[in-house]
Amino acid sequence: MPNADDIRWFKEHFHSDIEAAVAGTLFDLDMMTALACQETGEVWPVLRKEPQLSIAEIVALCVGDTLDADRGRSAFPKTKADLIAVPNGQAMFDLARQALVDMAAHVKSYRAAASRPNKFVHGFGIWQYDLQFFLDDPQYFLQRRYETVSGTLGKALGELRTALRTVGFQSKPSLTDMEMAFVAIAYNTGRFIPSRGLRQGFKDSDGRFYGQLIFDFIRLSKTVPVPGGTPAIVTPAPGNAIVPLPTPVASTGPAFLVRTLAAPLRVRSTSRIGAPSGKNVIAQLPEGQPVRAVRKKKVRGFAEIETNLSGAHLSGFASAQFLAAAPAGTATPVVTPPAPSIPGIVAVTMPRRPGTITKRSEPADAHSLNEPNQPGRQGTTPVELVAELGEIIEWLAVDKPAHKRYQPHDGLTFCNIYTHDYCHLAGAYLPRVWWTQRAIIDLTHGRTVEPLIGNTIDEMRANDLFRWLRDFGPMFGWRQTGTLTKLQQNANQGGLSLIVARRKQDGRSGHMVMVVPETDAQGARRNSAGDVIAPVQSQAGATNFRRGTGRLNWWTDDRFAESAFLIHA
């Protein structure tokens, strides 16, 4: 599989050609790089390490995918006999056969296929134009136009334009990373089923689908700049996932400030109040939050607005009566963790007596787990990180009766402790205890403060953590995100994703769950458009479960004052 160094080489040699070709299209260098990684990533990363090969020779040798009685293929040709039966078929077979032999001389994984005399390749060029099109354009293959960057790139862009129409994105002003992956799925299969998300297309030997792989490559490509440039995303440290920058506000309509003088302003998915009233609420905006009007016309007293709340891009409808004109020049800040730290404010954990061990099998207290051989995250790829998160879920085994730390009893539940443990093992700070207000004042004045439970530190419950994530979370790598789809995808990349809801009655328990990677056995629920409506969750609560989709939109229940979706690398 191509890595960042391979992508750096690819961009160094081909970025100028690609950028010129994609200008004025919805495609970009990172998408074309990702496609090249997926289509011929087992070829050119090997060839580039052979110093005797020129760039032109490497491009010419980029062929792949072999045929002869290939099971499951419906397109022309399935066999050598199919190919040689058409005009110029024998010449095409000879060319495809020799291309395989020449490439296999450098790429060991193809040598077994090359040893069989009826085997031949059916993918031609860096972006793998398929031999099924020989019947329509034989000269492209026979004249070996695929051996040049311009020849193979031109065909790829033509196929991508067709895929764009297949997915229905041709009228969009731009494409997100996810939407580019959807187009790539149609490029690979000729169709796209929204409800399946990225789990479509060719499935590799590790069980990952074309869509998942292409999305991984798009994200990885964004961490690698062109020569002399800066990356769109900074490469994360080992044990962390690649997290994109927040989506900025694009609307240029009039600016407003939230002014309710009572409570946070609800943003709804439609221009009407749902039944119950919280049903169509997608976010709640605090007093003073700047927003932009998408259009001037109001609908049933609602204004369509766009904003960015603590890193979450939000668009929807808000009651116009609670929006006041903003002063000229008002901007919407975009939070990008880690935010600047506050002097003296540092992470704190509950001190323990030397030699003591906090175990899952014991009733919960304010200490963090420190059992021998606890799992963690050290991976550098989505596959590794997802596997490690899976190990954490199974090790914590929140539903196991013997793990008394999480089992509900006497009206008490332990969602806050489970989410803390999950994040603690994954290497992210979500406090089990936090500084008191008096301690924070002392710390910011440079005074030394000893952590003392009930004195300078207090235990953190779900309602407390909601406020902590809002006020201090960005300092420790947390930021909000705007949709369940983004929340689930961050988990699928091996990142940490969290839903937290604060109760209206402060003495009553709020709730929080981890959103965890999808598996073959447990996927998220999606609507017909492919948007996640119920992510895969892992929780302790009245009911404990390792993976499940839970009750739909539980965080919009009228018992909760507000809620948030948060992500961490």
Distance CA(206)–CA(536), nearest Å, equals: 21
Per-residue model confidence (pLDDT) at position 336 = 86
Considering the domain delimited by 255-325, tell me its CATH architecture: Roll (2.30)
Q: Give mean pLDDT, residues 179-199.
A: 95
List the one residue out of 513, 567, 562, 511 whose CA is nearest residue 536: 513
Neighbouring CB atoms inside 10 A of 295's CB total: 12
Q: At what angle do helices 177-189 and 29-40 cross, to 10 degrees?
A: 40
Residue 495 CB partners (closer than 8 Å, separation 6+): 240, 241, 242, 243, 385, 567, 568, 569
Residues of each domain in the chain carrying CATH 3.90.1720.10: 382-568
Per-residue model confidence (pLDDT) at position 276 = 82
Residue 70 has pLDDT above 90, yes or no: no
The answer to whether residues 134 and 122 touch, using CB atoms and an 8 Å cutoff, is no
Q: For the structural domain made of 382-568, what CATH number should be given?
A: 3.90.1720.10
pLDDT band at 335 (very low <50, low <70, confident <90, very high): confident
Q: At what angle do helices 149-167 and 177-189 cross, to 10 degrees?
A: 100
Residues of each domain in the chain carrying CATH 2.30.30.40: 255-325
Look over the chain and give the mean of its residue pLDDT values, rounded to a whole number.
Answer: 96
The CA angle 160-519-314, to the nearest 5 degrees, is 60
pLDDT band at 192 (very low <50, low <70, confident <90, very high): very high
pLDDT band at 445 (very low <50, low <70, confident <90, very high): very high
The tens digit of pLDDT for each residue in 392-428 reads 999 999 999 999 999 999 999 999 999 999 999 999 9
The tens digit of pLDDT for each residue in 254-294 reads 999 999 999 899 999 999 998 888 788 999 999 999 999 99
Distance CA(147)–CA(56), nearest Å, equals: 8
Residue 69 has pLDDT above 80, yes or no: no
Per-residue model confidence (pLDDT) at position 206 = 83
Question: 293 - beta bridge partners?
Answer: 305
